[in-house]
Amino acid sequence: MSKDISKILKGWDFDADEVSVRVVHGDDGREKIQLRLDMGLLQMEMDGRPDGQRPEGYESWLEYYQGKQRQHDEQNLDDPPFELDDGDCSRLWREAVQYYHRYLSFWHLDRYDLCARDTQRNLRLFAFAKQYAKGERNKFQFDQWRPYVTMMSARAVATPLVGEKEYGRALHVIEAGIDGIKDFLDEYGQTERADECVELAHLERWRDEVLRKAARSGRGRPEHVLEGLRRQLQEAVARERFEEAAQLRDQIRRLTEPS
């Protein structure tokens, strides 16, 4: 049996300007995802670890280390806290990249529910690594991607809601994503550089678009979003971020004006 993948790639040319991904039926009868690369492809499982492995019998290394952490804390109440060493972090990082490739594929397949599942999984991993990884370098290796994955998670959850004209629920999700990214900037003392954060800018632009759609639809005004905007306005004024405050006033006005 030939191991040459040329026949698989024939007729499926690589395009550097767009993501090429498809779902195929595997020899085991289950669906697989194939992501086209410049020199081949990645094939991933739909569920569990993308490579189909079960490290130490667990669904993933994240579940394995979470189990070790719980066991350590139960058995070593007075000892130093559980810690992920460099090798542990390397395993978890390689695994996170696998999930990245899969949630990106799900996004381009319009499988928003599965994209949301995998982005939220990686966010849980980042939080776990931030709490237990040894050394700030290991912690930040994961946490630096939190704004991007937060944005992707918000997009994955809110996109179908916008499609169903559930604007209030969609705005709630988008606002939560915006708040999450702002929390990240606050933690790292980068609040004054918020206008340089592309993930934050993307969600704020999208929020404005959804606000306009909500206003035109006549389906009611999402009060929880208004409350969030007013809170952000107060914070912006208190910190003398007047340009941001002016933008927030415009957003509130668009939401409260009669449609």
Residue 188 lies in a domain: yes
| pLDDT exceeds 80 at position 259 | no
Residue 247 structural domain? 165-259
pLDDT tens, 180-197? 999 999 999 998 888 899
Q: Residue 212: its pLDDT value, please? A: 83
Residue 73 lies in a domain: no
Question: What mean pLDDT comes out for the span 124-152?
Answer: 97
CB 66 within 8 A of CB 56: no
Residue 8 lies in a domain: no
pLDDT tens, 3-22? 888 888 999 999 999 999 99
Q: Residue 38: its pLDDT value, please? A: 92
pLDDT tens, 241-254? 777 788 778 777 76
Q: In this predicted model, which residue has the larger pLDDT, 250 or 156?
A: 156
- Token couple for 119: 């982005």
- pLDDT band at residue 221 under the 50/70/90 scheme: low
- pLDDT band at residue 132 under the 50/70/90 scheme: very high
Q: Closest by alpha carbon to 133, among 86, 70, 169? A: 86
**Distinct helix (H) and strand (E) counts, the chain:** 10, 3
* Count of the separate structural domains present in the chain: 1
Residue 120 lies in a domain: no
What DSSP letter does each residue of 91-116 carry, written as one string?
HHHHHHHHHHHHHHHHHHTT-HHHHH
| pLDDT exceeds 80 at position 103 | yes
Measured CA distances, 203 to 1, 46, 95, 173 (Å): 50, 28, 27, 10
Residue 21 lies in a domain: no
Residue 161 CA to residue 217 CA, distance in Å, equals: 14
Residue 50 CA to residue 36 CA, distance in Å, equals: 15
- pLDDT band at residue 225 under the 50/70/90 scheme: low
| pLDDT exceeds 60 at position 219 | no
- The lowest-confidence range among 170-179, 185-194, 228-237 is 228-237
Query: What percent of the chain shows pLDDT beyond 90?
Result: 66
Residue 257 lies in a domain: yes
Residue 92 CA to residue 83 CA, distance in Å, equals: 13
pTM: 0.84
Residue 136 lies in a domain: no
3-state SS string for 124-184: HHHHHHHHHECCHHHHHHHHCCHHHHHHHHHHHHHHHHHHCCCHHHHHHHHHHHHHHHHHH
Residue 177 lies in a domain: yes
| pLDDT exceeds 80 at position 169 | yes
**Strand pairing partners for 36?**
41
